[in-house]
Amino acid sequence: GKGIAVFTSGGDSPGMNAAVRAVVRMGIYLGCKVFFIKEGYQGMVDGGGNIEEANWSSVSSIIHKGGTVIGSARCADFRERAGRLKAAKNLVDRGITNLVVIGGDGSLTGANLFRQEWPSLLDELLSTKQISAEQREKYKHLHIAGMVGSIDNDFCGTDMTIGTDSALHRIIEAIDAIVSTAYSHQRTFIMEVMGRHCGCYLSPCASTYVISTGFKCFHPWVAKFIILFKMDNDHPALDVVQSLLESLPDCVGPDEDVFSDSQERSAGQRLNIIIVAEGAIDRDGEPITAEKVKQVVVDNLKQDTRITVLGHVQRGGSPSAFDRVLGCRMGAEAVMALMEATPETEACVVSLDGNQAVRLPLMECVERTKAVAKAMADKQWEKAVQLRGRS
Ligand code: F6P
Q: State the 10-residue block means of pLDDT for the chain, 391 residues long.
A: 95 97 98 98 97 98 98 93 98 98 91 95 98 97 96 86 91 84 80 69 43 44 39 46 49 35 47 72 67 78 84 95 98 98 94 94 90 76 67 43
Phi, psi dihedrals of residue 74, rounded to the nearest 5°: -100, 120
At residue 21, the pLDDT reads 98
The reply to whether ligand 1 has any atom less than 6 angstroms from the CB of 194 is: yes
Phi, psi dihedrals of residue 68, rounded to the nearest 5°: -135, 125
At residue 13, the pLDDT reads 96
Q: Which amino acid is at 173?
A: E
Which residue, by CA, sits nearest to atom 1 of ligand 1? 11
b/e 45-61 (16+ beta carbons within 10 angstroms → b): bbbeebbeebeeebbee
d(CA 112, CA 118): 10
At residue 195, the pLDDT reads 75
Atom of ligand 1 lying closest to residue 196 CA:
8
Which residue, by CA, sits nearest to atom 2 of ligand 1? 11
Probe ligand 1: pick from 193, 194, 202, 314, max atoms within 8 Å of CB?
Answer: 194
- What pTM was computed for the model? 0.86
At residue 222, the pLDDT reads 27
At residue 274, the pLDDT reads 75
Q: Name 344's Cβ contacts closer than 8 Å, sequence gap at least 6.
A: none
The complex scores an ipTM of 0.96
At residue 95, the pLDDT reads 97
The reply to whether ligand 1 has any atom less than 6 angstroms from the CB of 150 is: yes
